[in-house]
Amino acid sequence: MGFARCIASVSLLLSIFLPAHGQGQILLIDRSGSMRPYYENGLIGEVGQRINDLMLAPNLNPVRIGAFNKRVDLVDNIHSIQATGPTYLDVALDYAVNYKYALVWIVTDNIMHRAGEEEGQTQAFYDRLKQKSVERVVIFPLRQPPGQNPGIIVYALLLSANADEAFRKETAEFARLTTNTVLLPMKPLDRETIETTFVDPGSANKKTKPVYQDGSSIKESMELRFRSRFQHLKIIDADIINPAVAPEFSENSLLELEKKHVTIDPTKIRGLGPGNETLQAYKVDVDLGKIKLKRDFVSLWRAALKDPNEEISLDLSFSIRVPKEQFQFSDEFLRDYSSASPETARADGKIYALHQLPLLVAENNTSIQVPHKPKIHVTYPWWLVFIFPGIPIAAGVIAIGSGILAWRLLKRATTRQPKWIVNITSPPGARGTIKGGWLLASVEGKQIRLGQVKDSSFGPAVGVSPKESQAIKEGMPMALTAKRKSFVLIFNRPSQQGNADGQGKKERKKDGNRIATKI
C-alpha cells in the first residue's frame, strides 16, 4: 500500500513536468520475449529508426522512445532494448494516454501475452483503441520473408486532433518508405470513408445548378451511387438510415425554407468493395417546400441592397449503418497479409488472424456519415424595388410635395397678394383669366398660356415673344405675340367695392373682356 502511494506521488510529481496535452510523440517498441527474433534480425532497429526519423520531421516535440512489456521504460537508443517478458499492449497505450502524448507509434508482433492468460488475447488493447482518447488508428501489417518469422504490426495512433496534420504526413511517409506493407486506416471508419457520385456527371456541373426564385418550391431529384474510399475493407451488407437535409445558408442569408424532407430509395447497400462504386443507383428526392425571403422589413431592406443571388448548399447526409461483422478485408489483402494460424503465419511471414481486425477494432455498429452537398441558386425577387428605392423615393416625393404645399399655404397666408384684373383689348373677343399665377387667354374657343404673373412682374411662356419678363404697370397696355396672334393686355387693380359686393365682376362680364382675379 505504501509502495503504491509512493508510486502515485512520483507519478503526480512527474506529471508536472510532462508535456501539455497533444504536444509530444512517442515510439513504443514491444520488448516481449516473442519479439527477440526481430531484434536479432535487425528489423526492429530498422523500422524503429525509420519511425524515429519521421517523428523528428514535424515540429511536434518532445520525441521519445519507449520499450514495453509489462511496463514502459523510456530508452535513448533502440539498439539498447533487451527483449524479455510478456506483452502488455494495453499498458503501452495507457502510458501514452496518461502522459498526454499526441501521436503514438507502437511496433509489436501483436501477440498479446499476459501472465496467466492465453496468448493472443488482444481484446483489452482493441477496446482501448475504441475509446474517445484515440482519435485515429492506422495499422501497418509488415510482412516478413517466408519461413522465418510471422509478420509484425505497426500501429500509428493519434491521441490529439491538434497533431492530425503531422499524423497524416508521418503515416503516409511510412507507407511510402516501407515495402511489404499497406496503410490500413481503421479509425474512424465512420468519416470520409464513403462518398457519393452522381449517376449523371453532368448534374454536378456548375452550369446546370438549379436556379430558384422567391416563392418557388424546391423539389430536387437526383440519382447517386456510393463509392467506397476504403482501400482494403469491403462492406457486405448495410442499411442507409436517417437521410437528412440541412441546407447551409450563407452567414447573412435572408432566405428561409418551409420544410426539410428527403428520401432515398433503395435503402440497402450490398457488396461494396474497397474503392468500388455501387452498381445500384439510388434515387434521392429532396422536398424543401417553398423558399422565400424573410418578410420582416429589415431583411427586405437588406435584400434590396445586397447581391441578389444566394447559393445554398443542401447538405444532404446519409447514415450508412454497418454492423461490425459486415466489414471484411478484401480477399486480395487477406491472401497477402493474413494467416489462419500462428504456424502458417511463421511459414508465410504473414500476420496471424489479421482477418479478425475489423471485428476487433470496429464498433458493434458503425454509422458512416456520407455527406452530399448539391448546390442550388436562389435569386431575390424584382419587387424589392418597392422597398428600395421605392420607399425612399415615395417618402421623398411626399416630403417634397408636402413641403411645397406647406410653403404655398404659408406664403398665401403671410403674403399680401396684389390683385390684378387683366383686360385683353386685342384680338377682339379674347378673354383673359389668371389661374394659379398663369395668364390664360381664351381666343376662338382655344386657350393659350401667355405667361406667368408674379407680384408686379409678367414672365412670358415658351413661344411667347418678347421673351423677356416685363414689369406690370397699372393701366398701361402690354403687347405680346403668341401662336401668331398679337395680344394687347391691360392690367388694372380691381376696386375694393366691386370686389366686395360682386358688382364690378358682373359689369365686367357684360363686355366679356374683363375678369377680376385674386392672385
Partner 1 sequence: METESRLKYSLAVGLSIFLILNCVLVWLAANNQPLISAQDTIPIGIKWLILFATVIVSVGIAYWSHRAFLEGGVSPVDTTWVDLIIILIALLTILALLFVSEAFWILAAIFLLLIFMFSAFVLRKLLNNAKGWVTWLIATIILGLLIVILISTLLPAE
Residues at the site binding partner 1, with contacts judged by CB under 8 A: 303-309, 380-382, 384-385, 387-390, 393, 462-463
What three-state secondary structure class fits 257? strand
Q: How far is the CB of 298 from partner 1 (least distance, A)?
A: 14
- Please give the grid coordinates belonging to residue 105: 507509434
| 19 or 308: CB nearest partner 1 | 308
Q: Beta strand pairing status for 351-352 and 338-339?
A: parallel
- Least separation in angstroms between CB 354 and partner 1: 55
Q: Least distance to partner 1 from the beta carbon of 138, Å?
A: 45
CB of 386 to partner 1, least distance (A): 9
Nearer to partner 1, 282 or 380 (CB): 380
C-alpha cell at 27: 515510439
Of 306, 297, 301, 283, give the one whose Cα is nearest residue 378.
306
> Whose Cβ is closer to partner 1: residue 45's or residue 308's?
308
What angle, 0 to 180 degrees and rounded to 10, lies between the N-to-C axes of helices 43-56 and 164-177? Answer: 140
- Judged by beta carbon, residue 129 or residue 303, the one nearer partner 1 is 303
> β-pairing, 233-245 with 327-329?
antiparallel
Q: Please report how close the Cβ of residue 209 comes to partner 1 at its closest, in angstroms.
A: 13
Closest separation between CB of residue 484 and partner 1, Å? 13
CB of 447 to partner 1, least distance (A): 16
> Which residues does residue 422 pair with via DSSP β-bridges, in sequence order?
491, 515
Q: Which is nearer to partner 1, 125 or 380 (CB)?
A: 380
Cα angle for residues 159, 131, 178 (degrees, 5° grid): 50
CB closer to partner 1, 137 vs 464 = 464
Angle, vertex CA 271, rays to CA 373 and CA 369, nearest 5: 30
CB neighbour class for 26 (10 Å; exposed up to 12, middle 13-18, buried from 19): buried
423, 430, 438, 441 from 493: Cα distances, Å: 11, 19, 17, 18
Q: Shortest distance, CB of residue 155 to partner 1, whole angstroms?
A: 52
Shorter beta-carbon distance to partner 1: residue 305 or 400: 305
Question: What is 58-126 written as a DSSP string?
Answer: SS---EEEEEESSSEEEES-GGG----S-B-HHHHHHHHHHTTEEEEEEEE----B-TTS-TT--HHHH
Angstrom distance (rounded) from CA 435 to CA 443:
16
**In terms of CB distance, is 146 or 389 closer to partner 1?**
389
What pairs with residue 30 in β-bridges? 68
SS3 label, residue 207: helix
CB of 387 to partner 1, least distance (A): 7
Q: Yes or no: say if 27 and 49 are a contact pair by the CB < 8 Å rule.
A: no
Q: Tell the smallest beta-carbon distance from residue 435 to partner 1 (Å).
A: 22
Q: Helices marked H in 338-490 — which ranges?
A: 342-348, 357-361, 390-414
